[in-house]
Chain A
C-alpha cells in the first residue's frame, strides 16, 4: 500500500480551496463585516465565495484527469473532471442569483453551506469507494436540508426543510442498507473490486434486494416517481437559490454517481447494471416520473411547484439517459444534466428577483413581465424554452442526444426505444405548461399598479450569462461533448 500523498493533495486542491474559503468567509463576517448591514455582508460573502469557486474550477481544469488517487479511493476520470467543473459552474450561478436577496438573515453561513454542499457534490463525482460515496452524499444532503430551511422569516421554508430532511434521511437509510448488503455480498467497498467479484460469482438473490434498496434511495434523492412527494413542497418553500441548487448541481452530481454505480467507469467492467432486473426497474421509474411529472405540472398555478413537477418529469428523461449511457457512454447524459441545471437555476433566479420585489409565486404574478422588465422576460423565455427542448437552445440538443442514444441501435425494437418515444410524446405535454409560463410573462398585460422590476446588477449579469450559455451550448454542443 504505497500511497502518494502529494498526488492526493494536488487532486484535492479544488475541494480544500472551497473549505478554506468557507472558513475565511466566517472569519471575515465575524470581524470586519460585523457591523455592516445584511446586504453588504451577503455581497462580500458571495463575492469571496464566487472567487473561490471560480479559482477551484480553474484548478480542477488544470489538474485534468489524474486517474486513480489513493489506490483507487478516488478516480478522477474525464467524467469526474467534467462533473466537478459543472458543479462549480452551477454553484457560481446559484451564488450569483442569490445576491440582492433581503430575506437571508445569516448571509455568511448561507454562503458557507453552499460551499460545503459543493464540496460534497465534487466528491460524489469522483468517489470510488462506498464509504466515501455515502459520506459525500450526506455532506451534500445535510447542507441542502439546512439551505432549504434557511429563510427563517417564512414558515413554508421551515416546512420545506423539515420535509426534505425527513424524506432525505429515510432515503439515506435505504441507501446505506443497500450499500451494506453489497459489502456483505462482495467483501469489498471499492467499486472496481466489487465489479470483479460480481462478475466472478454471478447473480445472487440478495443482490436484487440491495438493488431495490439502492434504487429506492436514489429515487428519493432524485425525486423520481413514486418517490417524488417531497419535491413540490421543498421547491415551493425553500429560498429560491436553495431550490435552484437542489434542482441543478445536486441533480448533476447525483445522476453521475448513479451512472457510476450502474455502469462503472470506462476502465472497469459493468457494475450493478449487469444485474438482471435492474434496467427494467429503472425503466419503470423513468416512465412513471415522466407521466406523473408532466401530468401533474399541468394543474399547477404556482410557478415553483410547476418547476418542481417539471423537474420530476426531467428526472424521468434523465433516468432514460442513465439507461442509454450503458451503451453510448455518459456524454449525452452529462450534456442533458448540465444544460438542464443551467436553465432551471436560471428560471429560479428570475423568480427570486421577482419575489424579492414583493411578487408572490403565482403564475399570474408574472403577467406583463415583458413590460416590467424586458431583461427578465427575455432570460425567462430562453430558460423555459430550453427546458421545453426547443432548438436552438441547449435543452433541445440534450433531449436529442439522449433520445438518439436511447433509440440506437435497436430503434423501436427495444423497450428503451419505446420509452424514448413516450418521452417525446410527453415533452409535447410539457410544452403546454411551459407555454403557460411564457404566456403570462410575454403576452398578458401587466396587472394594474404593477411597477417596473429593478434587477440587482450581479443577478442581472448572472442571468444573462446563464441565458448566453444556454444559447451557446445549444448552437455549439461540441463545447461540452468533446470531453467525452
Chain B
C-alpha cells in the first residue's frame, strides 16, 4: 500500500495508466481529457516535490520506497527516491512533459489517439528514469521512453523520416546496449551482487572496484552514454532525428530523454568508477571540445531551422561533458543546472520552430523573413528562447554555463578559453536565425504562402506550453538557489572521492 500512495510512483503510474486506457480503446474525446491528467499530474507532483524537498537532505533519497519485484535473486528491486541531483531533472521531466503534452493534445496530428498514447508511455518512462534509485530500473525506464520515440519519428516524422528513424534507432539502441553492458559489469565486479545504487556505493566505498575492471566498465559506459548524449563524433543521429521528429517527440527527447546519459554518468559512473573516470578525462575533454567548436561551426552553416536547433543541442552537450571532467562539485553542479536549463530552452525552441513552420510552411531559413510584423508574440518568444540558449543572465542557462566555465578555469584556463569561444558561436547562429526568420523582408515565395493563408499570432494552445517553459527558465534564472542548495548537499558527498584536477 505504501507504494501506491508514494508521489513518485503516482507520477509514473498516472501517464502509464492513461496510456494503457487509450490502448484498450478509450474513445477519442475521453482520451484527450484523460491525457490532460496523464501529463498534468506528474508535473504537479514534480512541482510539489520541488517545493517540499527537505532542506539539508545530503545524499539521502527523499520519498524513498522499495517494492519487491520477485527478482531479488538478481539483486533487482523497484526502488524509487529523489536526491538533490535527481530532483531538478525530475522537475524538468514533469514540466517539459506537460508542455509537450499540452502542445500535442492541441495539435492536429492525424491519429491523435495513438500519438498521445506513445507520448504518455514516454512520459511515464521519463518520470521513472529520474525517480529510480535502482540502476536496472534506471535503464528499464529509459528504454520505455526510448521506443516510442522511434515509432513516432517513423510514423509522424517529416522529411527523411524513414532514414532518420532507422539511423536513430540503431545508434541509440547500440548506445543503450553498451551502457547496459557497463551497468552489468559494475553489478558483477562490485561484488555487491545488487543493482541498488546506495548499496553499490557502500560496497565501493568499502572496497573499490579493481582498476582493470573499472577501466572497461567506464569505457563501456562512456561509449554507451556518449552515443545517447550525442558526444562528438557519435552525434550524427541527433540533428537528423530531431529534424525529422514530430515536435512533441523532439521536445521530450532533446529536452529530457537525452539527459539520461549525463545523469547516468553523474549518478552511477563517477561515484562508482572514480579512478577510471580520471583516467578517461583527457580523451573526454578533447571530444567535448569537438562538440563545442566543431559542431558549433557546423551549426552556423545550417540552412534548416530544425536542423540548426538539433545541432545547437549537440553543441551544448559539449559544455556538459566539460563540466564533468572538472571532477569538482562546482563543475558537476553546473552540469546539472545546464541540463535543466538546456532541456527547457531546447524544448521551447522546438515548439516555436514548429509554430513557425505552421505559418511559413518551410523550415528553410533562406525562405523566411519579416515574420515579426505579422506575429509579434511569436517573435518575442523566439527571441527570448534564443537569448536563453546563448546564456544571457536572467535565464537558467547563464548559471549553468557560468559555473562550468569557472570550474573549468580552475582546472585549465586554456580549455576554459576554448569553451567560452563557443558562446560567441552560439550568439552568431542564434541571432542570425532570429534575423532571418523575423526581420528583413519576406521572400516572394513566403509572400505567396502568407497571402493564401494569413499567419495568425500564437494561439493559446501554443502560448501556454511556451509560457510554462519560459517561466521555468526565468524562475531558475533569477532563483538558482532553488536547485543548487539540494544539489550541493547531494554532490559534496559522492564527488568528493574524485576531487582532483585533470592530470
Query: Which residues from chain A sit less than 8 Å from chain B, CB to CB?
Result: 370, 381, 385, 390-392, 396, 400-401, 403-404, 407-409, 411-412, 421, 424, 427-428, 431-432, 435, 438-439, 442-443, 476-479, 481-482
Q: Does B280 contact A (CB under 8 A)?
A: no
CB pair B170–A428 under 8 Å, yes or no, is yes
What residues of chain B lie closer than 8 Å to A477, measured between beta carbons? 70-71
CB pair B184–A481 under 8 Å, yes or no, is no
Contacts A/B (CB < 8 Å), 26 sampled: A385-B147, A390-B147, A391-B139, A391-B140, A391-B143, A392-B140, A400-B180, A403-B184, A407-B184, A407-B185, A411-B213, A424-B180, A428-B170, A432-B170, A435-B166, A435-B169, A435-B170, A439-B165, A439-B166, A442-B151, A443-B161, A477-B70, A478-B69, A478-B71, A481-B71, A482-B70
What residues of chain A lie closer than 8 Å to B468, measured between beta carbons? none
Q: Chain A's interface: helix, strand, loop or mixed, by majority?
A: helix
Interface size class of B (residues with CB under 8 A): 20 to 34
Cβ-closest 5 pairs across A and B: A478-B70, A391-B143, A443-B154, A428-B174, A408-B188
What residues of chain B lie closer than 8 Å to A381, measured between beta carbons? 151
Q: A435-B170, A478-B71 are in contact. List 18 more A-B contacts (CB 8 A).
A: A370-B155, A392-B144, A400-B180, A404-B74, A409-B188, A411-B185, A411-B189, A412-B185, A428-B170, A438-B154, A442-B151, A442-B154, A443-B154, A443-B165, A478-B70, A479-B70, A481-B70, A481-B71
What residues of chain A lie closer than 8 Å to B166, measured between beta carbons? 432, 435, 439
CB pair A431–B144 under 8 Å, yes or no, is no
CB pair A431–B170 under 8 Å, yes or no, is yes
Q: Does B162 contact A (CB under 8 A)?
A: yes
Within the assembled complex, what's the spacing in Å between the Cα atoms of A478 and B78?
13
CB pair B213–A396 under 8 Å, yes or no, is no
Q: Does B181 contact A (CB under 8 A)?
A: yes
What residues of chain A lie closer than 8 Å to B180, measured between beta carbons? 400, 424
Within the assembled complex, what's the spacing in Å between the Cα atoms of A403 and B177?
12
Within the assembled complex, what's the spacing in Å between the Cα atoms of A385 and B169?
12
Known contacts A401-B74, A476-B70, A390 near B177 by CB under 8 Å? no
Q: Chain B's interface: helix, strand, loop or mixed, by majority?
A: helix
Q: Does B355 contact A (CB under 8 A)?
A: no
What residues of chain B lie closer than 8 Å to A385, measured between beta carbons? 147
What residues of chain B lie closer than 8 Å to A421, measured between beta carbons? 181
Within the assembled complex, what's the spacing in Å between the Cα atoms of A421 and B188?
14
Within the assembled complex, what's the spacing in Å between the Cα atoms of A482 and B73?
9
Residue of B73, B144, B174 near A391 (CB, 8 A) is B144
Among residues of A, the one whose C-beta sits closest to the C-beta of B143 is: A391
The 8 A CB mask of B64-85 against A (1 = contact, 0 = none) is 0000011101100000000000
Within the assembled complex, what's the spacing in Å between the Cα atoms of A403 and B165?
28
Known contacts A411-B189, A442-B154, A428 near B177 by CB under 8 Å? yes
What residues of chain A lie closer than 8 Å to B174, measured between beta carbons? 428, 431
Within the assembled complex, what's the spacing in Å between the Cα atoms of A404 and B154?
32
Q: Does B173 contact A (CB under 8 A)?
A: yes
Within the assembled complex, what's the spacing in Å between the Cα atoms of A412 and B214?
12
Q: How far is the CB of A358 from chain B (nearest CB, A)?
A: 26
Query: Which residues from chain B sit less than 8 Å from chain A, CB to CB?
Result: 69-71, 73-74, 139-140, 143-144, 147, 151, 154-155, 161-162, 165-166, 169-170, 173-174, 177, 180-181, 184-185, 187-189, 213, 216
What residues of chain A lie closer than 8 Å to B188, measured between beta carbons? 404, 407-409, 411
What residues of chain A lie closer than 8 Å to B71, measured between beta carbons? 477-478, 481
What residues of chain A lie closer than 8 Å to B140, measured between beta carbons? 391-392
Within the assembled complex, what's the spacing in Å between the Cα atoms of A435 and B167?
11
Known contacts A442-B155, A443-B161, A390 near B173 by CB under 8 Å? yes
Q: How far is the CB of A327 from chain B (nearest CB, A)?
A: 13
What residues of chain A lie closer than 8 Å to B181, measured between beta carbons? 421, 424
Within the assembled complex, what's the spacing in Å between the Cα atoms of A175 and B74?
36
Among residues of A, the one whose C-beta sits closest to the C-beta of B157 is: A443
Within the assembled complex, what's the spacing in Å between the Cα atoms of A209 and B188?
36
Known contacts A391-B144, A411-B185, A476-B69, A424 near B177 by CB under 8 Å? yes
What residues of chain A lie closer than 8 Å to B187, measured between beta carbons? 404, 408
What residues of chain B lie closer than 8 Å to A476, measured between beta carbons? 69-70
What residues of chain A lie closer than 8 Å to B173, measured between beta carbons? 390, 428, 431
Among residues of A, the one whose C-beta sits closest to the C-beta of B191 is: A409
CB pair B184–A390 under 8 Å, yes or no, is no
Within the assembled complex, what's the spacing in Å between the Cα atoms of A403 and B74?
12
Within the assembled complex, what's the spacing in Å between the Cα atoms of A428 and B173?
7
Q: How far is the CB of B74 from chain A (nearest CB, A)?
A: 7
What residues of chain B lie closer than 8 Å to A408, measured between beta carbons? 187-188
CB pair B143–A392 under 8 Å, yes or no, is yes
Q: How far is the CB of B468 from chain A (nearest CB, A)?
A: 29
Known contacts A396-B143, A481-B73, A439 near B162 by CB under 8 Å? yes
What residues of chain A lie closer than 8 Å to B155, measured between beta carbons? 370, 442-443
Within the assembled complex, what's the spacing in Å between the Cα atoms of A370 and B111?
11
Within the assembled complex, what's the spacing in Å between the Cα atoms of A407 and B217?
13
Among residues of A, the one whose C-beta sits closest to the C-beta of B140 is: A391
